[in-house]
Amino acid sequence: MSRDRSLLWFLRLYLLAVFGFVFAPIVASLVFSFNSDRFPTIPLGSFTFKWYVQVWGNESMREAMLNSVIVAAVVSVASTFIGFCTAYTDYRYRFFGKNLYLGLALLPPTIPLVIMGLAMLAWLSRIGLSGHIWSVMIAHTVMCSPFAMAVIRLRLAQMDENLEPAAWNLGATEWGAMRHVVLPFTMPAIVAALCLTAAVSFDEFAVAWFVSGINKTVPVVILEILQGNVDPQINAIGTFVFMTSMTLIVFAQVLLLTRQKKQVGTNE
Amino acid sequence: MSEVLVEFDNAVKRFGSVEAVKRMNLEIYRGEFLALMGSSGCGKTTTLRMLAGLEKPTEGQVRLSGKEMNDVGAHERDTPMVWQSLALFPFLNARENVEFGLRMRGVKKAERSRRALEWLARMDIGDLAERDVAQLSGGQRQRVALARSLVTEPELLLLDEPLSALDANLVIRMQGVLTRLQRELGITFVYVTHSQSEAFAMANRIVIMNEGEIAQIGSPKEIYRTPSNRFVAQFVGRNNILTGEVTSQDGRSVSVRTELGEFNMPATAEASSLLGQSISFVVGADRVALNRQPRGSVNELSCQLISEEFIGSVVTLYLEAPDGTELKAQIQQRELDEINPEPGMSLWLSWEPSQTHILPH
Amino acid sequence: MTIPTEHSRRWNGYLLTWRLPMIVWQVLFFLVPLIFMVVLSFWLVKNYRMEPALVGINWSKMMSRDYFWDAYWRTLALAAGATVVTSLLAFPASFALAFKVSENARRWAVFLLIIPFFTSYIVRAYAWQVILAQSGVINSLFSMVGLGPYTMLNSAFGTIVGYLALTLPLVVVLQTFSLASIDRSLIEAAHNLGCGRIKTVFLVILPLAKIGFIVGALFCFILSFGDFVSPYYLGGSKPPTLSILIIDTTKSGQQWPRAAVVAVTMIVTLFIIAFTAVTLAYRKPGRT
């Protein structure tokens, strides 16, 4: 049986290597953000906070961060709303052309970002909406709503199909059932969708780069810095960006997973 | 004579090209416990849903207390339902679930809390009021569902196979609870089920449905003893059904000749007029006697034992007649011991003429 | 799952409130921009300004350029290469997660893998640039044992590493789900009938997981084909990929119609590949 055991150990080590590969850049960014040397390499220099201080002191950097936060906040609400509409419509109604409807809703992630960027830039310019902060918000909402839709739809699939009719049966109108039954039931997924879409928006750089003009978000600033020389500030910014999105994603996943065990509400 | 509470007037329900309910005419009386019984797909649940307003009749009308209901939405009716899956709201605790209907009617918090707790106590689960639904047992959830529907004190309660997922002993207990509740409150219960024992145990009247149509309406005893067609005879109880030609009649009894012999039975007006034609008749499995030797009774035939089925102190024996007809006999355990049969053994099945029921043509 | 009751067959405000928003938004800000971009490819650029027209000059000019076709085949090759490499490298990991670890561990693993997928790709690419640089982390480690330095950036190798960073987590997760949902009794039956462990993988497991694997490969291809960050920052940006071509043409050249031509070509290519892949994935056995 030792051939089996060595296979098992090989596979486990391999898994670790994959995780190492995937998390290496995040760890590297974190480590080097506290490194005193300008150029990130081994052996390390001394521990320092100076890059964080420098980033924080940078006016345009703070402005970009504010933009990113505002955009992410607005986008998360808008795309979660649209995602909810789509998910609920898919759950509740059967109608002619439903496949086309769903296709329209779920297509954006399959279009390469550069192409989306170009198309958005061209169209938004044409209608005079380019170069503003809402340009990014509009584009990101398009791109994030499929994620919100998927998350909320999965949650709705867990809902007893009789819950809404039960509410009507007890005197709730359709709006009442939405308010008192559907929304409470899907709330964990809605919050998770808010976090998820906020994270996606926060990190999105390509389309933002195309359409944002002078109102830059953080990723756009990063892109521009990268076009210059090696700048250790990137590590500090990068770590900050990582921590933000990672927190959001972890929170969203926790919300989606713990609730699952509790739920069903059927006759068992 | 009881007042009519619900009327189905030539109600039809079609889904695409499928007719789930074909021309239903039914009156439901105030205060009765009515069971809608049948196998899957017979249309009983669709009928219930039309009453609740969850389906709109394709043709015809549904009337509640004389008022036409076709265009009245589900939420505007007072027809609370106990669902098969119970449909308890998982994000609310027991008391909040019960309060829901009151909340929708704008009842104030203190008042609805009081009434909800009252009903929970009435269902013997008062101390579980603040518990989350997920932490309750099947039987406890049943009671919450019941309380939730009854707290608004409706005239009509709809039940869609609510006991189908419970353990056998819980079913018996809940049947008692339901029967008691219905008699005490005087509310009209409309109960959908596929289980004969449930319907027979609780209902005043049973509606047997088959393929979207009503096969028979009657009290449990009527349905059991005098099925009005072959379908009901086969569906309900354990019946022996034989078919043959009317050979003679003398006003009080008729003789029918079948492949298995000639048998006597009390005449009906219809049977007497069908001399020379074919009729079917029914003998309940609990109305036959089994012996090892022929007894020389008027109605007797020979058959072979195939298998036995024990249901407590009563045993059902499945037998086969020489022409392949399936026969059943339901006897007490001690009678079985006297006969001491083995599979394949030849037995003699006999019955009194008066125990025969002729099926309407 | 059955569709819940139609509360009312009429179209009412309630239904419209939920059905319309997506349609309006997507048409206005997704469909129309894409259609406009196609239209744009037929416009003229005169004196640095765009004019509506219906001319094929952008198409003919672009299609006749060598650098366009170089970029096209190069992008295609890189994406295809990345797809193969990623699918292969992901397999031992997904196999391990599906068959060799506990269900709990698998959930944790997926949980962890999803995280980087949603974090900033561009920062990760920069970090790789630093790690792979001439005097970066890896080369420093090599020099400690007397090896190197190796040139890893500004080459196809760098680009592929970048694509891996982008797509590996996703492909591993998709493959894992696919493998984990295979009916175990089928594998046991194969062993029971004398099929060796390795043969079982190829004759039983992979065919059963076909759909998930093809979908994973497809996503990998789409993401790599359209990405510009890896070829730009890790691959040296010259010769350019199609995505870089679009950026150059748009940002520096202001030649939006030309960029649109490249974009449309990319979309058509992706559509053909996706269609083929899905057909392959869902083709019933026995028609080979």
Q: Does C50 fall in a domain? A: no
Q: Is residue C220 part of a domain?
A: yes
Q: Percent of chain B having pLDDT more than 70?
A: 100
List of chain B residues whose C-beta atoms are within 8 Å of the C-beta of residue C5 = 49, 54-55
Does residue C5 have a pLDDT over 60? Answer: no
Does residue C92 sit in the same domain as residue C175?
yes
C-alpha C29/C-alpha A104 separation (Å) is 11
Q: Are C47 and C122 a contacting pair, CB within 8 Å? A: no
Tell the burial category of A109 from Cβ atoms under 10 Å away from its Cβ (0-12, 13-18, 19+).
middle
Kindly report which listed range (A40-49, B168-177, C14-23) carries the lowest average pLDDT score. Answer: A40-49
Give the CA radius of gyration of chain B.
Answer: 25
Q: What rounded mean pLDDT belongs to chain B? A: 90
Q: Same domain for C30 and C104?
A: no
The CA-based angle B125-B128-B133, given to 5 degrees, is 110
Same domain, C153 and C77: yes
CB spacing of C7 vs B49 below 8 angstroms: no
Are the beta carbons of B85 and A168 separated by less than 8 Å? no
CB contact under 8 A, C5 and B49: yes
* DSSP-derived secondary structure letter, B132: B
Percent of chain A scoring above 70 in pLDDT: 94
Pairing of strands B188-193, B156-160: parallel
Closest Cα in chain B to A171 = B75
The string of pLDDT tens digits covering residues C257-272 is 889 999 999 999 999 9
C199 and C274 housed in the same domain: yes
Report the SS3 class of residue B68: strand
Does A268 score more than 60 pLDDT? Answer: no
Q: Which of A118-122, B298-302, C3-7, C77-81 has the highest mean pLDDT?
A: C77-81
pLDDT at A266 over 50: no
Q: How far is the alpha carbon of C288 from chain A, nearest alpha carbon, in Å?
A: 29
pLDDT at C285: 64
Nearest CA in chain B to C4: B54
pLDDT higher than 70, residue C288: no
Average pLDDT (C200-225) is 90
Nearest residue of A to residue C166, measured between CA atoms: A22
**pLDDT beyond 50 at A262:** no
pLDDT tens-digit readout, B224-264: 888 999 999 989 888 899 998 888 888 788 888 888 888 88
Nearest alpha-carbon partner for B85 in B171, B191, B2, B160: B160
Contact between A168 and B83 using a beta-carbon 8 Å cutoff = no
CB contact under 8 A, A120 and C26: no
> What range does the domain containing C20 cover?
1-40
Measured in whole angstroms, the distance separating CA A92 from the mean position of its chain's CA atoms is 26
Instruction: Please answer yes or no on whether C107 and A257 come within 8 Å at the CB atom.
Output: yes
* Residue C118 forms part of a structural domain: yes
| Local structure of residue A171 (DSSP, 8 states) | T
Is C52 among the domain residues?
no
Nearest-neighbour CA in chain B from C1: distance (Å): 14
Q: Give the DSSP H or E segment for B165.
A: none
Q: Select from C7, C9, C12, C14 the residue whose CB has the most chain B CBs within 10 Å, as the one to mutate to test that interface.
A: C7
Q: How many Cβ atoms sit within 10 Å of the Cβ of residue B327?
A: 26
Asked if C66 and C11 sit in the same domain, the reply is no
**Does the distance separating the beta carbons of A265 and B88 come in below 8 Å?**
yes
Chains linked to B by 3 or more Cβ pairs within 8 Å: A, C
- Name chain A contacts of B53, Cβ cutoff 8 Å: 168
| Per-residue 3-state assignment (H helix, E strand, C coil) for chain C | CCCCCCCCCCCCHHHHHHHHHHHHHHHHHHHHHHHHHHHHCCCEEECCEEECCCCCHHHHHHHHCHHHHHHHHHHHHHHHHHHHHHHHHHHHHHHHHHHHCCHHHHHHHHHHHHHHHCCCHHHHHHHHHHHHCCCCHHHHHHHHCCCCCCCCCCCHHHHHHHHHHHHHHHHHHHHHHHHHCCCHHHHHHHHHCCCCHHHHHHHHHHHHCHHHHHHHHHHHHHHHHHCCHHHHHHCCCCCCCHHHHHHHHHHHCCCHHHHHHHHHHHHHHHHHHHHHHHHHHHCCCCCC
Q: Say yes or no for a CB contact (<8 Å) between A185 and B74.
A: no
**The pLDDT value given to residue C4:** 44
In Å, how far is B101's CA from the nearest CA of chain C?
Answer: 18
pTM of the prediction? Answer: 0.85
Are residues C81 and C22 both part of a single domain?
A: no
Shared domain for C98 and C234, answered yes or no, is yes
Is there a domain that residue C251 lies in?
A: yes
Q: Closest Cα of chain A to C28: distance in Å?
A: 10
pLDDT reading at B156 higher than 90 = yes
C8 or A42: whose pLDDT is higher? Answer: A42
Chains that touch C (3 or more CB pairs under 8 A): A, B
In the predicted structure, residue B79 carries a pLDDT above the cut 90: yes
Query: Would C137 be classed as within a structural domain?
Result: yes
pLDDT at B120: 95
Q: What ipTM describes this predicted complex?
A: 0.86
- Higher pLDDT, residue B33 or C5: B33
CB-CB under 8 Å, A25 with C30: no
Return the minimum-mean-pLDDT range out of A25-29, A129-133, B351-355.
A129-133
Question: Is residue C214 domain-shared with residue C260, that is, in the same domain?
Answer: yes
Asked, for residue C181, whether it belongs to a domain, the answer is yes
CB-CB neighbors (< 8 A) of C85 in chain A: none
| Chain A residues 136-165 with a CB less than 8 Å from chain B | 160, 162-163, 165
E-only strand ranges, chain B: 4-15, 18-29, 33-37, 59-64, 67-68, 81-82, 156-160, 188-193, 205-210, 213-218, 239-249, 253-258, 261-266, 278-284, 289-291, 299-311, 314-320, 326-332, 346-351, 356-358
Which residues of chain A lie closer than 8 angstroms to C45, CB-CB? none
Pairing assessment for the beta strands B67-68 and B81-82 based on DSSP bridges: unpaired
- Closest Cα to residue B298, out of B345, B253, B244, B335? B253
Q: Are residues C30 and C62 in the same domain?
A: no
Contact at CB, A145 and C22, closer than 8 angstroms: yes
Cα B147 → chain centroid: 24
Q: Does position B132 have pLDDT exceeding 60, yes or no?
A: yes
DSSP B321-351: -TTS-EEEEEEEHHHHHHH---TT-EEEEEE
Tell me the average pLDDT across B152-178.
91
Residue B1 binned pLDDT confidence (cut-offs 50, 70, 90): low
Q: Which of A122, A161, A206 minimises the CB distance to C36?
A: A122
C-chain residue closest to A168, CA distance: C7
Half-sphere exposure of A46 (CA within 13 A, CB side): 2
Q: What does the pLDDT read at residue B11?
A: 94
Instruction: Give, for A95, the enclosing helix (H) or strand (E).
Output: none
Say how many domains are in chain C. Answer: 2
Q: Are B322 and B261 in contact (CB under 8 A)?
A: no
In a domain, C133, yes or no: yes
Q: Is A231 helix (H, G, I), strand (E, B) or coil?
A: coil
Using alpha carbons only, what angle is made at residue B183 by residues B179 and B185, rounded to the nearest 5 degrees? 115
Is A175 part of the contact surface with chain B (CB cutoff 8 Å)?
no
Check B54 against A173: CB less than 8 A apart: no
Which pLDDT tens digit goes with each residue over B311-359? 888 899 999 998 888 999 999 988 888 888 888 888 999 999 888 898 8
Given a cut of 50, is residue C2 above it in pLDDT? no
**Using one digit for the tens of pLDDT, what is the confidence trace for B38-55?**
988 899 999 999 999 999
User: Do the Cβ atoms of A116 and A141 come closer than 8 Å?
Assistant: no
Q: Is pLDDT at B134 greater than 50 in this prediction?
A: yes
CATH number of the domain where residue C171 is located: 1.10.3720.10
- pLDDT recorded at residue B276: 84
Q: What is the mean pLDDT of residues A164-187?
A: 95
Inter-chain contact B90–A262, Cβ cutoff 8 Å? Answer: yes
Strand B156-160 and strand B81-82: the pairing is parallel
Q: Which of B49, B75, B86 to mutate to test the interface with A (most CBs of A within 10 A)?
A: B75
Size of interface A-C (CB pairs under 8 A): 251
Q: What pLDDT does C168 receive? A: 95
The answer to whether the CB atoms of B52 and A263 lie below 8 A apart is no
Q: A53, C151 in Cβ contact below 8 A?
A: no
Shared domain for C83 and C114, answered yes or no, is: yes
Contact C5 B73 (CB under 8 A): no
pLDDT at A142: 94
Q: For the segment C153-167, what is each residue's pLDDT rounded down to a tens digit?
A: 888 999 999 999 999
**Angle formed by the axes of helices C57-64 and C256-282, nearest 10°:** 70
Asked whether the beta carbons of residue B80 and residue A169 sit closer than 8 angstroms, the reply is yes
User: Predicted confidence band at C6 (pLDDT cuts at 50, 70, 90)?
Assistant: low
A9 touches chain B (CB under 8 A): no
Output the pLDDT for position B250: 83
Å from C237 to nearest chain A CA?
Answer: 12
- The residue of chain C nearest to residue A145, with distances taken between CA atoms, is C22
Instruction: Give the per-residue pLDDT at C10.
Output: 65
Q: How far is C6 from chain B (nearest CA, A)?
A: 8
A32-51 pLDDT tens trace = 888 888 777 777 888 888 88
Query: Does residue C102 sit in the same domain as residue C26?
Result: no
pLDDT(A137) > 70: yes
Residues C143, C101, single domain; the answer is yes
Closest-CA distance of chain A to residue C128, Å: 6
Residue among A184, A262, A267 minimizing CB distance to B134: A262
Task: Calculate mean pLDDT across residues C213-235.
Answer: 92
Distance from CA of B350 to the nearest CA of A (A): 46
CA-to-CA dists, residue C241 to B275, C162, C246, angstroms = 96, 14, 9
Q: Which among A11, A21, A123 is the nearest to C33, CB-wise?
A: A123
Of B117-121, C78-82, C250-254, the poorest mean pLDDT is in: C250-254
Domains parsed from chain A with CATH numbers: 67-267 (1.10.3720.10)
- The mean pLDDT of B18-44, rounded to a whole number, is 93
DSSP secondary structure letter of residue A47 = B
List, for residues B267-298, the tens digit of each pLDDT value: 888 888 888 888 899 999 988 988 888 888 88
